[in-house]
A and B are shown apart, each in its own frame.
Chain A
Amino acid sequence: MSETLDTRDRGGPAQPLLAVRGLVKHFVSKGGLFSKGPIVRAVDGVDFEVMKGETLGVVGESGCGKSTTARLLMQINQPDRGEIVFDGELLGSRALDLKTYRRQVQMVFQDSYASLNPRLTVEETVAFGPQSHGQSRKEALGRAHDLLRRVGLEPRRFGGRYPHEVSGGQRQRVNIARALALEPRLLILDEAVSALDKSVEAQVLNLLADLKRDFGLTYIFISHDLNVVRFMSDRVMVMYLGQVAELGPADDILASPRHPYTAALLASQPSTDPQARISEAPLTGDPPNPINPPPGCRFHTRCRFAAPVCSTREPGLDPVAPSHLAACHMAVPGSGHPEAPSLPMAA
């Protein structure tokens, strides 16, 4: 069961398990009778890689495109543009068809209740995937029992229950078991612990850490909770209005953020020390609507460091430190922003 040496591994450890290039998804919102509605730029040019065995954390506020990105990766929605390369093979090419890809990439949804069929027992839900891939009912139920045991649910007690007969934390364990039933290599966790109580959340996070180690999994961990993301992730990607704002090692990003948005997110976390209460909100207003994103840097409307260049030119996602990228004019020498570091002297 434990796969230290995965036979499906093609490119070796140096090759990213997943590479995403230029991912774009625009939704046309509901318009009038004869006109199409405005375009929602849910994901607007996203590039990133996920290395084998790592956890990539994704943070951002509502409308930042993190959930849409997950759904594009799962091919629940089709991207308008962009490539998904899994272990060196382009998705949709002859070497990697959708069915093979889906066996290797699975997802755990946020709402533990909505993601379980109310008419199926826990074991039937977990056995569904293996049965769809040709296992007999008996084999699949056996596998379901193994997995339920693995996620901490005694199959004899829980296997025959319906979703409404188990608690929220237990339901999320079932969802995890279901996702693992196809032996995926990449697991996308879309706010998978956000709806749980803190004490239950800790149990599920421990479980996820165990599973990752035992099954040699790679995670994309999507959450709005910075503390949890930092704790779980090797690298973190911060998204804002459908684009990547900052991407880099978790500790670097959260200790010394290079994008003002990341800094503001961090500064918005209430402290548990009454002496360290926040006295001024780091940002004002709500995140803008992705229907009409502002020109230039998308964050400039809320950024306290905004300069003229920010509203005219869109910053690229540029390296600011080793393996640390940020999309901010302030981080790039010679960008035209007054706070930008000066250009190195020509030798």
Chain B
Amino acid sequence: MNAPLRTPDAATDALVHVRNLTVDFLGGRKPVRAVGGVDFDLKAGDALALLGESGSGKSVTLRALMRLLPEKRTRIGGTVRVDGQDVLALGRRSLAAYRGGTVAMIFQDPGLALDPVYKIGDQIAEAVVRHEGASFAKGRARALELFERVHIPSPARRLDAYPHEMSGGMRQRAMIALALACKPKLLLADEPTTALDATVQIQILLLLRELQRDLGLAVIFVTHDVGVAVQVADRVAVMYGGHLVEVGASGEVIGTPAHPYTHGLLASRITPDSPKGLRLATIPGSPPDLADPPPGCPFEPRCSLAAPPCRAGLPERVAVAPGHAARCVRIGEALGAAPHAAA
């Protein structure tokens, strides 16, 4: 059950170490298990994409890593170690230092991170002052440096702008600058480009990749878009019904998906080569009710390969290739060729 869904190497030098992470939302009539036991590791400087549809638990997993979930209404279980710290056991003080100092987060809506009534340069400077005890002037100098780092044109002038005075892509860059203010080692990105136009999205994705490379930043990027996942990360983890169902190098997961869900998800995509008039393959049904999940594999009720063993319990991870594993008991059976060769 607790077998990590990842390659066996590098368990010790991992920056992020997550084991059997569970998140339950309380308060309703029945607790809702949004995340049902997630294991993964991430090395410093690596990028991982968490790919999944709405309700798959991908954003909740991300927020659990930063303990951003409302404490009273959630129960988090398992182990989360980031940079040697036991995240789930952090006290208030150390949690504040951890957020921003070790881990920072960017969102789909910059409004969640940027305060509308303060100049952006001051917000960044403020964060530096609070975390590092530096002077405000030093914080402003850092802010300017960061604005240059995220390629905001005429950065000195833009430091004195308010968030609403910036365009969408610029606000996103400013939010990234704010996230980097205290030199975090891990950047959590929750669909930061979903609301952006295509030509702006690619700029932000390239910026994130550049930051990952140049600053040695580890990135966990949550998205529902396969193309975005591949663009931004070398490894992809596919989430479904609160579980990581498949993990591997992005080329392998996309090119030769092992899990029937990944396979179905990719097959239903429209690509530049999908012939017109073709009937799109679809996954029948809809995602499981997390208040009443299926007993075994979360995908079993919708899976064309479902068999009695699938209902027995959550399938163990099975290695398909080095560094590529999936939680499925019927791997390799009758899935046919890849839905479309990654081309």
Are A265 and B198 within 8 A (Cβ)?
yes
Chain A neighbourhood of B266, CB < 8 A: 272
Q: Tell me whether A230 and B198 are in contact in the complex, defined as CB-CB below 8 angstroms, given that A197-B53, A198-B53 are known contacts.
A: no
Q: Are A273 and B269 in contact (CB under 8 A)?
A: no
Does B157 reach chain A (CB closer than 8 Å)?
Answer: no
Q: Are B265 and A282 in contact (CB under 8 A)?
A: no
Q: Report the separation of the CA atoms of residues A258 and B202 in the bound assembly, to the nearest whole angstrom.
A: 21
Assess the A287–B203 pair: CB atoms within 8 A.
no
Binary interface encoding of chain A residues 159-176 relative to chain B, with 1 for a CB under 8 A from any of its CBs, else 0: 000000001110000000
**Cβ contact of B227, chosen from A167, A269, A282, A284, cutoff 8 A:** A269
Chain B residues whose CB sits within 8 angstroms of the CB of A201 once the complex forms:
268
The answer to whether A62 and B197 touch across the interface, beta carbons within 8 angstroms, is yes
Residues in A with CB closer than 8 Å to B281 are 202
- Cβ-defined contact, A264 with B199, below 8 A: yes
Check: A27 CB closer than 8 A to any chain B CB: no
**Most chain B C-beta atoms within 10 Å of own C-beta, residue among A227, A280, A289:** A227
Q: How far is the CB of B121 from chain A (nearest CB, A)?
A: 20
B199 touches A265 (CB 8 A): yes
User: B206 near A: Cβ within 8 Å?
Assistant: yes
Question: B153: which A residues are within 8 A, CB to CB?
Answer: 285
User: Are B230 and A206 in contact, CB atoms less than 8 angstroms apart?
Assistant: no
User: Is there an interface contact between A227 and B274, defined as CB atoms closer than 8 Å?
Assistant: yes
Q: Whole-angstrom distance between the alpha carbons of A225 and B255 in the complex?
A: 22
For residue B170, CB closer than 8 A to chain A, the reply is: yes
Query: Given that A205-B280, A224-B197 are contacting pairs, would A271 and B230 also be in contact in the complex, using a CB cutoff of 8 Å?
Result: yes
Q: Classify chain A: how many residues form its interface, as a range.
A: 35 or more
| Complexed CA–CA distance, A124 and B217 (Å) | 53
- The CA-CA distance from A127 to B268 in the complex, in Å, is 32
Q: Which residues of chain A (170-228) have a CB below 8 Å from chain B?
A: 197-203, 205-206, 209, 224, 226-228
**Cβ-defined partner of B53 (8 Å) among A199, A224, A273, A278:** A199
A-contact bits for B176-202, CB 8 A (1 contact / 0 none): 000000000000000000000111111
> Would you call A203 and B282 a contact (CB within 8 A)?
yes
Q: Verify if B14 is at the interface (C-beta below 8 Å from A).
A: no
Q: Whole-angstrom distance from the CB of B210 to the nearest CB of chain A?
A: 10
Flag if A284 contacts B203 (CB, 8 Å). yes
B residues less than 8 Å from A228 (CB atoms)? 270
B135 within 8 A of A: no
Over the window 107-134 of chain A, the binary record of Cβ atoms lying under 8 Å from chain B Cβ atoms (1 yes, 0 no) is 0000000000000000000000000000
Contacts of A206 in B (CB 8 A): 279-280, 282
B29 CB-CB contact with A under 8 Å: no
Interface size classification for chain B: 35 or more
CB distance B200 to A286 under 8 Å? yes
Distance to closest chain B CB from A76 (angstroms): 23
State the CA gap A277–B229 with chains docked (Å): 11
The answer to whether A199 touches B282 (Cβ under 8 A) is yes
Provide the B268-304 mask, 1 if CB < 8 A to any CB of A, else 0. 1111101011011111001000000000000000000
Determine whether the beta carbon of A272 is less than 8 Å from that of B226.
Answer: yes
Is B342 an interface position by the 8 A CB rule?
A: yes
From residue A275, how far is it (CB to closest CB) to chain B in Å?
7
Q: How far is the CA of A19 from the CA of B282 in the complex (A)?
A: 35
Is there a chain A Cβ closer than 8 Å to B169's Cβ?
yes
Binary per-residue interface labels of chain A (241-285) against chain B in the complex, 1 for a CB within 8 Å, 0 otherwise: 000000000100010000000001100111111111111111111
Given A197-B224, A199-B264, A206-B279, does the pair A278, B231 have CB atoms closer than 8 Å?
Answer: yes
Chain B residues contacting A265 (CB-CB under 8 Å) are 198-199
Tell me if B4 is interfacial: C-beta within 8 Å of chain A: no
Give the interface of B toward A (CB within 8 A).
Answer: 53-54, 153, 167-170, 197-203, 205-206, 224-228, 230-231, 234, 249-251, 254-255, 264-266, 268-272, 274, 276-277, 279-283, 286, 342-343
The 12 sampled A-B contact pairs (Cβ below 8 Å) are: A61-B200, A168-B54, A198-B224, A198-B268, A268-B199, A270-B201, A277-B231, A279-B206, A281-B206, A285-B153, A285-B167, A286-B170
Seen from chain A, the residues whose Cβ lies within 8 Å of a Cβ on chain B are 61-62, 167-169, 197-203, 205-206, 209, 224, 226-228, 230-231, 250, 254, 264-265, 268-287, 289
Shortest 4 CB-CB contacts between residues of A and residues of B: A270-B227, A202-B268, A61-B197, A286-B167
**Other contacts beyond A230-B276, A272-B254, A285-B153: 13, CB < 8 A:** A199-B264, A199-B282, A202-B269, A202-B281, A205-B270, A231-B274, A250-B276, A265-B199, A270-B202, A270-B228, A272-B227, A282-B202, A286-B197
